[in-house]
Amino acid sequence: MPHRINAILSRVITRFGHWLERGVVWWRRRGRVWRCLGATVVAAVALAANLTWPNRLGQVNNYLLWWLLVVALSWVSGMIAGLWATLLLTLAQYRFFMVVPLPLAGYVNLGLFMGVGSVSSLIIGSRRLEEPTDRLTPMLHQLQEGVVITDAEGIIKYANPAMERMCGANLAGRSATSLGSGEGNAGADPLQLAQALRQRRVLTNRELDWESGNGSRVVALASIMPMVEAEILTGAVITVREITDRKLREEQKDQFISIASHELRTPVTSLKLNAQRLLRQAVKQGAAANERSALESIKRQADKLGHLVRNLLDVSQLESGQLTVRTRPLLIDEYLTDIIERLRLLTPRRSLEVQGALDGEVVADPDRLEQVLTNLVANAVQHSPEDSLITISLTPEPGRVVVGVRDEGEGIERTKQVHLFDRFYQVGSGGGAGLGLYIAKQLILQHSGTIWVSSEPGAGSTFYFSLPRVQVSAAARRNVRIKS
């Protein structure tokens, strides 16, 4: 029987503790003004009780009771509200009006009461629930990754030394929404912390790029994990991994590609022009077959090089965000018929067939759209046998048009399909730099479209892309007519 009572008691205590903690956490989430108002209400109730039952308890017990009230209020409400409660409760204890005609001993009492109340408020009220426990602190100090702990409003309660090193500043007390933003755009919240807290959503690997306090550039990946206790948001843990070196290397690589391809452009032009000229002369002068084939080979390779240089330039522009599309309304049917005629020249020893038809208008950059289609067809040619069929399918769908390019080639394994649109990714050793599909994807994304592949090994591949069909105003339609 005593066991049962013990069990029930302990359950009640646990339950009570749980609810008390929830209440405290909830109360601490209120703003400072609300907490001070709450303390005022408690002090008012205490004053009323004191006026109603004066000296019901002995003087000492009375003091103890008031101190306990101050301590409890400080613990629940934090330092500022605790100090406010101390002041109000002191006045309530001495019933306001009695303060003036107090004897000397009364003033000593009053000073003692205020002193103890204030000290306990400062000590107890300044203790934060969100602070890491002492056992964790040394670990957080040792971590190479930055760790930030915030309260539910996103105010930084704790930042480990690695984090403060990255920011070159003392972070406690600052809003974490300013993490990762420059001096000029503080509060821009590049972390999207406010949103993560509101939605209680975990955010991972957000790239931040900021200037630290000592002027050096810092690039880092940040993750946010909101902390929820008993369904109440208590704050968030933000971990930050610095990737400045990696980022700088990547940028140097992109810059190198950009410079190299710029520098290659002129020699390649010279090579191409001269190869074409010599080949022409050789044909005119009836040069030997082997001489001609050597010149043809030079010209072919120079063309390939020129193509590669153009692709690399596109890639470096895509990477630096400089590649922009200039869209305008296009009558899709007329436009595609035009391109497909030109593509027939690109598909020697393959038959090119068109299935389906499209009508209406899309908003696109005509040059870039042609580049996408050319890349897909060139890809189909590269990966399919001679005398096979390449089919371009045109399918209208609600709100969009879908264009497909099907080949009768070797097909692509499922594991490789996910990487097809990655930069520099190649299937097999078919040649090429692995840029065509990457560029195609980036260009289609810039058109707010999507690109995907459907393929089975041995059964050929079909690459699809979609473009949103846009409602075009009458003015824009007139514009199309004028332009075409």
Partner 1 sequence: MTAPSALPAATLLVIDDDADIGQAIQNGLELPGVELTIHTATTASLGLQQAKHYRPNVIILDLQLPDMDGFAVFEELRRDAQLATTRVIMLTAQDSMANLWESVDRRLDDFIAKPLDLIELEARVYSQLLKAGVLPAV
Interaction site with partner 1 (CB under 8 A): 258, 261-262, 265-270, 272-274, 276-277, 280, 303, 305-306, 309-310, 313-314, 316-317, 322-324, 326
DSSP structural state of residue 132: P
Q: What is the largest CA-CA distance in the chain?
A: 128
Q: How far is the CB of 374 from partner 1 (least distance, A)?
A: 14
Q: Which two tokens stand for residue 395?
A: 């399918």
Shortest Å, Cβ 274 to partner 1: 5
**At its nearest, how many Å lie between partner 1 and the CB of residue 441?**
18
Q: How far is CA 403 from CA 5, 303, 373, in A?
A: 75, 28, 9
Does residue 387 come out as left (phi exceeding 0), alpha (psi in the -120 to 50 range) or beta?
Answer: left
Shorter beta-carbon distance to partner 1: residue 91 or 298: 298
DSSP state of 178: G
Q: How far is the CB of 405 from partner 1 (least distance, A)?
A: 23
Cβ partners under 8 Å of residue 249, min gap 6: none
Question: 312 Cβ partners below 8 Å, 6+ apart?
Answer: 257, 260, 261, 433, 435
Q: For residue 89, give every residue at least 6 positions away whose Cβ sits within 8 Å of its Cβ, in sequence order, or none.
A: 43, 46, 66, 69, 70, 73, 117
Q: By C-beta, is 80 or 264 nearer to partner 1?
A: 264
Q: Regarding beta strands 146-151 and 156-159, do their DSSP bridges make them parallel or antiparallel, or are they unpaired?
A: antiparallel
Measured between alpha carbons, how far is residue 326 from residues 317, 329, 362, 480 in Å? Answer: 15, 10, 13, 14
Q: Which of 76/302 has CB closer to partner 1? A: 302
Q: Nearer Cβ to partner 1, position 236 or 309? A: 309
Whole-number minimum distance, CB 268 to partner 1, in Å? 4
Q: Tell me how long the chain is.
A: 484
Minimum gap (Å) between residue 257 Cβ and partner 1: 11
Nearer to partner 1 among residue 142 and residue 297 (C-beta)? 297
Please report how close the Cβ of residue 271 comes to partner 1 at its closest, in angstroms: 8
Q: Which is nearer to partner 1, 192 or 446 (CB)?
A: 446
CB nearer to partner 1: give 196 or 313. Answer: 313
Neighbours of 152 (CB within 10 A): 18
Cβ nearer to partner 1, comparing 51 with 283: 283
Helix (H), strand (E) at residue 416: helix 414-417
Smaller CB distance to partner 1: residue 365 or 408?
A: 365
Nearest-angstrom CA–CA distance, 220 and 235: 21
**Shortest CB 272 distance to partner 1, Å:** 6
Residue 402 Cβ vs partner 1, minimum distance, rounded to whole Å: 26
Helix (H/G/I), strand (E/B), else coil: 203: strand
Q: How far is CA 184 from the centre of its chain?
A: 21
Q: How far is the CB of 391 from partner 1 (least distance, A)?
A: 29
Task: Name the one residue in this structure whose structure tokens are 């189909």.
Answer: 380
Q: Which amino acid is at 245?
A: D
CA distances to 312, 390, 391 from 462, in Å: 25, 10, 9
Residues 6+ apart with CB under 8 A from 128: 151, 157
Q: Measured from the CB of residue 401, what is the shortest distance to partner 1 in angstroms?
A: 24
Cβ-based nearer residue to partner 1, 316 or 391: 316
For residue 144, the minimal CB distance to partner 1 (Å) is: 39
Nearer to partner 1, 62 or 274 (CB): 274
* DSSP code at position 175: B
Tokens 């040619």, residue located: 381
CA 326 to chain CA centroid, Å, is: 27
Sheet with 351-355, strands from edge to edge, namely 351-355, 389-397, 400-406, 461-468, 450-455
Closest CB to partner 1 among 14 and 266? 266
Radius of gyration of the chain (CA): 37
Cβ at position 30, least distance to partner 1 in Å: 54
Question: Which is nearer to partner 1, 55 or 322 (by Cβ)?
Answer: 322
Is 230 exposed, middle or buried, given 0-12, 13-18 or 19+ CB atoms closer than 10 A?
exposed
